[in-house]
Amino acid sequence: METIEAIKSWRSTRRFLDRPVEEDKLHTLLEAVQRAPSWTNGQCWRLIVVRNATTRQQLSAASWVESYLAPLGVKANPAAQGLAEAPLVIALCADPQQSGRLWDMDYYLTDIGIASQNLSLTAHALGLGTVFVGCFVEEQARKALKVPEDMRIVGLFPIGYPQKESKLRPRKELAEIVFDEEWGQAFSN
Ligand SMILES: Cc1cc2nc3c(=O)[nH]c(=O)nc-3n(C[C@H](O)[C@H](O)[C@H](O)COP(=O)(O)O)c2cc1C
């Protein structure tokens, strides 16, 4: 699949078939993260491949952040079921010491963001589905995955074959997000 085709047809997947992910596909996904660019090539990412059903269930439970979701009237993280039912979950963790911090910008989040997009688009190109799950109680996930205190768990990615092709979600028009030469000046193309 062409890169631009993968980007344009990307959609998050939250429900998965009861079908395993082939080992060679998993290997390709891990290599896609490995090849991502990062602050001074620090490669701060660490990945945990989770297949154990009990652990996946614990991660699903961790994706309920009551203080954030309840006031929104949301009863569950929309990805909670997917974390439990996908054959595998990749936890994308970071060692912030291996990335940079400049003018209050923590670049480990940028490093992990780029790595996560490599992971997501590669999964999509391989016919798999995934979703970035960023809303979870980190301490609960830390306990389930035995992640040391000085590491951060940035995202959980349930990975598997989609139950169905979900809808493409809308994006802002280019005119809303692109300026010409300076902030606020309309861009036309
Ligand atoms: C940093 C980040 C955190 C996210 N966290 C969650 C989450 O906790 N649960 C969920 O269902 N989707 C989550 N998403 C997925 C977004 O809701 C989704 O990407 C967005 O609605 C656009 O839909 P699309 O990916 O299908 O195009 C997250 C995405 C990002 C980039």
Q: Count of domains in the chain?
A: 1
User: What is the number of the ligand 1 atom nearest to the C-alpha of 14?
Assistant: 11
Asked, for residue 42, whether it belongs to a domain, the answer is yes
Element (H, E) at 174: helix 174-177
Asked, for residue 16, whether it belongs to a domain, the answer is yes
Q: Are strands 129-130 and 105-106 parallel, antiparallel or unpaired?
A: unpaired
Reported as a pLDDT band with limits 50, 70 and 90, residue 7 is: very high
Asked, for residue 28, whether it belongs to a domain, the answer is yes
User: What is the number of the ligand 1 atom nearest to the C-alpha of 135?
Assistant: 8
Asked, for residue 179, whether it belongs to a domain, the answer is no
Question: With a 6 A CB cut-off, is 169 part of the ligand 1 pocket?
Answer: yes
CATH code for position 85: 3.40.109.10
pLDDT score at 33: 98
Ligand 1 mean position, distance from CA 131 (Å):
6
Ligand 1 mean position, distance from CA 135 (Å):
9
pLDDT score at 188: 86
Question: With a 6 A CB cut-off, is 100 part of the ligand 1 pocket?
Answer: no
* Burial readout 125-141 (b: 16 or more C-beta within 10 A, e: otherwise): bbebbbbbbbbbbeebb
Say what the pTM is. 0.97
- Domain holding 106, by residue range, is 3-164
Chain segment 31-85, per-residue pLDDT in tens: 999 999 999 999 999 999 999 999 999 999 999 999 999 999 999 999 999 999 9
